[in-house]
Amino acid sequence: MKRFLGAILPLTLMAAGCSQPASALDKPVAAPAAKRFANEGMGLKTAVFAGGCFWGVEAVFSHVKGVKSAVSGYHGGKSSTAKYDLVSSGMTNHTEAVKITYDPKIVRYDELLRIFFSVVADPTLKNRQGPDRGAHYNAELIPVNAEQRKVASAYLSQMQASGKWSGRIVTDITPYRAFYKAEAYHQDFALKNPRHRYIVRWDAPKIAALERMYPKNYRSSFIRN
């Protein structure tokens, strides 16, 4: 599992593989278009998503048109323990998350939700995604304002009623508390390490699914932090 690499990855970027069973996200789900559009007004907006390992969440959103930045980090917990080796222990009350800045004229929050649940996170899994286990890998929507909270709640209800997923939707809507930027070596990780075994196995397929399923939203270039 990815968390076991925490102490040594900064030094060696070891290509340790994951041997856990494949998740449902090996078969991306065509999430429904939102019935409740986000009304976000003018100017750039911020959104926070937790969907398991932040490498893949960041990588997908970095390829979405309208996204201006995607920053890997830790949501919740305390600043003193917002460190990869500690968060990976599962004892710090953080989740791995990504804060994105986007232009709602190009991509709305509800469209980001659709992309997230189509190719990034399996909403039927609790405290795990892909090969990674623990509360710090929980899938969470973390609205930063009332409009995002209403849109997120409506979309989760729509997802449950859609029948697209065989299991119950368990993704949480979590109040925004604090976001701490992760260590520099985590930023743009998929771009810098395209041959890393974890990226090849788990995250490159997500980017390929984004391009295939949402060509109008896909951008070939990777937005760097």
Is 2-10+28-213 a domain of CATH 1.10.3720.10? no
Q: Is 53 a catalytic residue?
A: yes
Catalytic residue among 18, 25, 50, 53: 53
Domain boundaries, the chain: 2-10+28-213
Mean pLDDT by groups of 10 residues along the chain of 225 residues? 45 34 64 98 97 98 98 97 96 97 98 98 96 97 98 98 95 97 98 98 97 98 91
SS3 content of the chain, % helix, strand, coil (to 5): 35, 20, 45
pLDDT digit string, tens, across residues 114-168: 999 999 999 999 999 999 999 999 999 999 999 999 999 999 999 999 999 999 9
- The amino acid sitting at 38 is A
E strand or H helix at 74? strand 67-76
Query: For the purposes of burial, counting CB atoms within 10 Å of the CB of 144, is it exposed (0-12), middle (13-18) or buried (19 or more)?
Result: middle
Runs of H (alpha helix) within 63-166: 84-87, 109-115, 146-162
> Alpha-carbon torsion 199, 111, 38, 51, what sign?
negative
* 3-class state of residue 8 by DSSP: coil
